[in-house]
Amino acid sequence: MAPLNNRSYEYQRRPYNRNLPKPSLLKELIGLGIPELISDFAHRGFRTRKELAHVRVLFSQHLDDDVIKQQKKISARLGISIASCSTDATHFIADKFVRTRNMLEAIAVGKPVVTPLWLDSCGQASCLLDEKKYILRDAKKEKEIGFSMAVSLARARQYPLLKDKKVCITQNVKPNKEMITSLVKAVGGEVVETSQKMTATDQKLQVDILILSCEQDLPICTPLLEKGAAAYSSELLLNGIVIQKLEYGRHQLLPKFVKEKNGRSRKR
């Protein structure tokens, strides 16, 4: 028994390493005096801190102020940064689904949309936990809209909604051109200026282009519509990001115009 006591005493007298994590498992390993396991545990703890340093969270404006205050305290303790906008964030924290710009931009690229419980749990564990168990699930909204947050995020990461698609956005599109432009780029689309397309001579390019517009701007789109292109409301994109599907028939602008135009063409 003496050798065991001496070895135990030897490890207890080692200077305290501030870089070591402090969970009970590490204390138990120190007590047992197993250097290989202690080293491995400390190394994993170091990697965890490096991972936390790259995390930047953005809080939904619909969260309660007290919740945000507490979440910021946890973030500061873990060394997690607070992002100022969704493009800089790695995680979006919300407790309910609200179709805001930040929410849409997060879903568009498949960034984890998690509940505050994720950060609470990370704080308790003093490490970065898997987000999959904390993805926001708003049963009422998901049923109403017809989507699954977890599925939409996975699809967005794998298949950008408008990958390599040329998109023309008219000036008065709703909610505003700047936001729609940002979302189009987020889902892999290439924004083409309206003026360039209205004077283009390549008919195939004009037909293939996706037009996001509104009733007010339809006169601008007429040259393209007459060549067989179709214009859609911004809901094609906004709702499409949420459900990860483009419902062309549902959101087409002036389908009657297109139908009548095609009818006249056939008569000729």
Q: Which helix (H) or strand (E) holds 231?
A: strand 231-233
Q: What mean pLDDT is reported for the chain?
A: 81
Give the torsion sign (CA, 48, 126, 69, 139). Answer: positive
Q: Identify whether 14 is part of a domain.
A: no
Between 33 and 155, the higher pLDDT residue: 155
Q: Identify whether 5 is part of a domain.
A: no
Q: Identify whether 187 is part of a domain.
A: yes
72 and 135 assigned to the same domain: yes
168 and 236 assigned to the same domain: yes
User: Span 250-264, mean pLDDT?
Assistant: 65
Q: Over pLDDT 70: what percentage of the chain?
A: 71
Predicted pLDDT at 222: 84
206 and 250 assigned to the same domain: yes
Q: Taking Cα atoms as reference points, which of 245, 263, 244, 243 lies closest to residue 255?
A: 263
Rounded to 5, what percent of the chain is helix, strand, coil? 60, 10, 30
Q: What would the two tokens of residue 162 be?
A: 């408008």
Tally of domains in the chain: 3
User: Span 174-178, mean pLDDT?
Assistant: 96
| Domain with 100 in it | 54-157
pLDDT in tens, 53-69: 889 999 999 999 999 99
64 and 137 assigned to the same domain: yes
| 220 pLDDT more than 60 | yes
Q: What would the two tokens of residue 205 be?
A: 């390019």
Residue 138, domain CATH = 3.40.50.10190
Q: What is this structure's pTM? A: 0.76
188 and 140 assigned to the same domain: no
130 and 67 assigned to the same domain: yes
pLDDT in tens, 14-34: 444 444 444 455 455 455 555
Backbone dihedral angles phi then psi of residue 93, each to the nearest 5 degrees: -105, 125
